[in-house]
Structure 1
Amino acid sequence: MLNLKALQKNKTVRYGVPMLLLVVGGSFGLREFTQIRYDAQKVKRKLDPSLEAKVNLQKQSVILEQEYEKMKDASLDEWRNIRGPRPWEDSREFQEQQRRKRTPES
């Protein structure tokens, strides 16, 4: 009984041990909660098998040399930079006005 009273008065046992249990136990608890989060993200990311096959087919069909040939044939001399409209401007009217201009803005 005397040892129990002495342990209750000891500050390390009274404050340190619960704090240590909270930190160590909290890390294990957080690991479980974050694992649930990542598992849920994996479930959301799964695609329908037929759709996944189409996506993979499209990814594999793009070849760098083919894209280069497309860009090589494009006429970049006639290209102009057309800025987008500001929020207070009518977008269609402004873009048509920009396309009609012959000289680039400075």
Structure 2
Amino acid sequence: MASSIWRSLRKNKTFRYGAPMLLLIIGGSFGLREFTQIRYDAQNLKRKIDPALEELISKKRISLESEFEKIKDSDYEDWKNVRGPRPWEDSKSFQMEQRNPAIPKEA
């Protein structure tokens, strides 16, 4: 009785090809879950920082108002627009021209 059932299952294409395929899919999903968990655990270990550094970071809370107070008294009227060298220009000679202008501007 059992041998006849086994023989009929071995001839059945669904059982012969489908069962191993389902086993690979389900087993592979469990295997991939374990590998991805290892990856995320390793990332969490890399991200941990020293407690002293963590305290230092938590103390330095920066707000928009505090940054505005820092730059509020800055003088932006006397700035000079400095152009960078073009790819075809020699950067050293261009920098020397910028530092020592040939014609001084008098305002």
TM-score w.r.t. length of structure 1: 0.71
Q: Work out which of the two has the higher radius of gyration on C-alpha atoms and give 1 or 2.
A: 2
Match of 1:27?
29
1:73/1:80 CA distance change after superposition, 3 Å: farther
1:53/1:6 CA distance change after superposition, 3 Å: same
Give aligned pairs, total.
98
SS at structure 2 position matched to 1:75? coil
C-alpha distance in structure 2 between counterparts of 1:54 and 1:96, whole Å: 43
C-alpha distance in structure 1 between counterparts of 2:5 and 2:68, whole Å: 83
Q: Larger helix proportion, structure 1 or 2?
A: 1
Where does structure 1 differ by over 3 angstroms across 4 or more consecutive aligned residues?
Answer: 81-86, 92-102
Deviations 1:17-66 (A, max 9, x none): 111111111111111111111111111111111121112112x2x22112
5+ long unaligned stretches in structure 2: none
1:29/1:97 CA distance change after superposition, 3 Å: farther
5+ long unaligned stretches in structure 1: none
Match of 1:51?
53
Question: Identity over the aligned pairs, expressed in percent?
Answer: 49
Question: How far apart are residue 71 of structure 1 and its match?
Answer: 2.7
C-alpha distance in structure 1 between counterparts of 2:22 and 2:41, whole Å: 29
